[in-house]
Amino acid sequence: DPTLHLAVHLSMILSLRVGEILGLQPGDIDFDAADGRGTISVSKTMQRANKDALEKLDPNQVYHTFPDRREGSKSSLILKKPKTKKSNRVLYMTKPLKEELLAWLDKMKQDEQNAPEKYSNCGQLFRLPDGLPIAPDVLTKWYRMWRAEHPEFEKIVFHGLRHSSATYQLMISGGDVKAVQGTTGHATADMLVNTY
């Protein structure tokens, strides 16, 4: 599945959280930056929030509340600022990730052109074929289903991909905690050290 593949790729290469992956928008991608290497700006996260809790949340923290798909829903899908300032970061693409993102943007254009009357562009990089946003619980469900079909791989949760990525980055950097903290967006180096 191209959606799941790209999400796993982003998590493994850039140590992104599920909400950060789904919070990405096409404007967050700069294919020409870093002398053509390309960068991704992480500055938003998507999550599902209980409507009662949402009313108590500072409105300056929420960029967008997506329309409910089900009448009477007790929660809303929101696009918001990340928890900490360190979570805002600019990350470098690898060549394979850049190629996959370019193909993904072409696929989104095709989806919209195939059925423009049914397409609702939500503005997110990750969308359903009708243009609506993908909720974090939906993406993790797709991952669990794929994992169940592939017993040859380690049984880890989606967030475990981020942990694997950070661990691998620590190994190849010779334990450069500060550099890896910049990639993972952890608030403190201690948090990274204590976790990994």
DSSP assignments along 28-84, one per residue: GEETTTTTTT-EEEE--EEEEEEHHHHHHS-GGGEEEEPPPSSTT-SEEEEEE--SS
Sign for the CA dihedral angle at 140, 141, 143, 144 comes to positive
27-61 pLDDT, tens digit per residue, is 999 999 999 999 999 999 999 999 998 888 888 99
Cβ atoms 120, 132 nearer than 8 A: yes
Average pLDDT in the chain: 90
Predicted pLDDT of residue 182: 64
Q: How far does Cα 39 stand from its chain's mean position?
A: 14
How much is the average pLDDT of 68-82? Answer: 91
- CA 176 from centre of chain: 24
Between 24 and 191, the more confident residue is 24
For 89-143, the DSSP string reads EEEEPPHHHHHHHHHHHHHHHHHHHH-TTT----S-SSB-TTSPBPPHHHHHHHH
This prediction has a pTM of 0.89
Q: pLDDT tens digits for 133-189?
A: 999 999 999 999 999 999 998 889 999 898 888 877 778 878 777 776 667 776 666
